[in-house]
A and B are shown apart, each in its own frame.
Chain A
Amino acid sequence: MVTIAFHDLAETNAASRGVPDLRICYTPHPVWGKTPEEMYAYLEGDDPVTHKPLMPEVISALTKPLTEDEKKTGSVTPPVGPPTYAGSPDELQKYYMDNGMTDFMPIVVPTEEKVAAMLKGTSHSPDEHVGDLTPARGAFPPWSFNVHQVAVNAVMSGATPDYFPTILALAASGQSALFSSTNSLVYAAVINGPIRNKLNMNFGIGTMGPFSQPNATIGRAWGLLSKNLCNGGLPGQTYEGSQGNVINYSNLIIPENEEASPWDPLHVEKGFKKEDNVVSLFFGFGIQQAQGGWGLGIKPVPHYQEAMVCNCVPFATIFGAFIVADPLVANGLVELGFKKKSDLAAWLQKNATDTVGHLKSCLFSRPPMGPAAAGLTDDSVVPKWYRPDAFNFVVAGGETNPYHQIANMSYRMSVSIDKWA
């Protein structure tokens, strides 16, 4: 039984798992939040798809004899369309868009010549398996893809061949930029290493805006491959984000301003060497401006770390806090005594607090459990996050103002870009 809001998802999932005729009955939406009386009324009412009485339909689903289709066995390989499409440039733009293969902005049509040029950006052979991708692990069977298939998507995004190893690293991460959740969850990708300068990535003024070809197209490529390599991004079927997320237009590519940062770069913290080229992924609800009323360098001292505590108040602890600080903020924090990122993480973990009662009332947060909860009451004030590693920091920006942005996102993994060179 499923609510009507998930009709397409239920049917798609049943089919892709081998039971295309699964007997599914539907209720009105939502169930969550309804009273028992309202839920009973659903049972006494009609299935909103068939418009027939619901419970007799449920009983029929369990007792009506199977059809021949419902008894079928065997294997079906889903077709994905022809290997090529021919037409005028305008016809092809429309065709790719109308058939769900774009982000609804014009693409670079992936001709054989352009894909061949893209493939020169890596030493890996075109038919080498790169990885598997799914809009949501466990919910949809993963699709596999090779270097050539990634190259087609990279061309479409407007990327150049020297961006290709970074795009391959993102694809190889196995993380879809178009994660399927009603919560409109998104990824951010931090780029570290000399490749930032080699590709002329923007980690100065406007770093998270549309001011750099590599920043824009690497992120765009990730979105396109997340759609095309695993049948992702189909609203109602493989994408359920209720409002969507503007980040998905370019998927928040953040090259770290290692040169202006007083701290170790992110990838060094995660165990890589400074000269390694690495992309690190963060996942969660998204990012926001964080200055607010506590913002800039308020005399006599800047309140950067206190502003960050305030920023965390509405955050769910199912994800961590990921802070993107302009170099002015990072250097200001060092002057305040936070010589390392871990010093700031420890301070924030201790000072970002909430009451046990409030944490209990939040859907995506959790109060202390087990022995840690001994002696606590609903009025007890506790740290929101149990460990300092819930906090991560990256320095990026052009030092025109001491700003930071903060994301309710968790560190997920780091992937070598050098591997795909």
Chain B
Amino acid sequence: MEAIDLQTQPRPPIKARLSALFSKIPMLGWLAGILCTVLVEYLLGDWLSYILYLPKIPVLFGCLIMLKQPILIPSVLAYVALVYAVPIIGVGRLTAGFTNRLAARLDQWPIWISALIHLSLLYLALHYWTDISDYRLLVLKLTMIAVMLTLSINVINGYMGEFSCSHPGFMALGAYAASTITLVFFANDRLFGDALLPPALGPFFFPLALIIGGLVAAVGALVVAIPSFRTRGDYLAIISLAFMFIVKSLVENIEWLGGPRGMGSQPNWSTLPVVFVWMVLCIWVINNFVRSILGKALNAVRDNETAADAMTVNTRKTKITAFMLGAFWAGVAGGLFAHVMRFINPGTFSIQRLAEILAMVYFGGLNSVVGSIVGAVSINLISEMLRPLEIYKWIVIPLILILVMIFRPPGLIAFREFDIKKILAPKKNR
């Protein structure tokens, strides 16, 4: 028996072989592959799509073209394989030895240098990727803002375990506060008249406007945070929902904010680098927060408030911090959103927005930074890619979410820690 087994030694299953192929590529290798892909598309994209009879470069991995003209599916698949799959995997695998040595070198330096290098490579790739079309740029910016929103609601809904419905309200507060500042001081518009300061100074003060927007949202969060001392769960959900409606109604009734007509002509300062830097900041701050003592206290409050209290966790301080931090980042995201869309009105921040944010956070996974990023990116990309389905899009996306909820109730990647050091580390040759 044994001899036969030795002779026909079975090949390892395909999954194991694939994972053996990929497990040696460090993050740096993947980034090199992505950069290569982007360069290939940047230089050869037009020519390749001409050869493959594509009308133009497929914007979002060809999904739009495939759904509109099924006859082009083979050429789109060929394009995706040539431009995306082959360079990413090929370059990543071929340079694995070199990038592993490089990553090992970087690993000895302080983590922030290594992180900065990786981030700048990623930014470079995104910059050239979005250079192809403005639509890509817009989708990417909105996706990054969605990542910030999802992360910030995960602090409250995931790490603290409340069901907060107030996020569109926080977002509205931040968006209106930041827009008011930029419009009053740095832009000529119909609501506030001429700029008080030279508009050229604007981009330098834009971060300040965003921070003020975030702070306004954080102060607004006290309205929800203070009742949360006495009540939890469902009643708090109603309070937060009421807060959302109150903010919307309040903005609708303030005439100098534009009322129901909204506020427009914000300057176009939410460029790709600005949004990228804020998103990275947001991920960094929130990841550090949830891994800190205060973050662990959040989990303790979620799992058993009385026990946490007995273990000297200051529950009030914990709750207030979580709400204010979540609201701050939602406010910043709102400010960025206002300057991307360059028009906001109270209707932007209503029930639909709430459903979208909740879908993203519960799809990605509670209590997990990676999950939030994955949830926000995938829901945003899916909803953009399925655009040609028109109205049926809103049947397909809910169905996907229902399936995810049934088969993985806490979300795709829930309860996972996000450790930047592990992600950037070189892969050992096993």
Q: Does chain A bind chain B?
A: no
B interface residues with partner A (beta carbon < 8 Å):
none
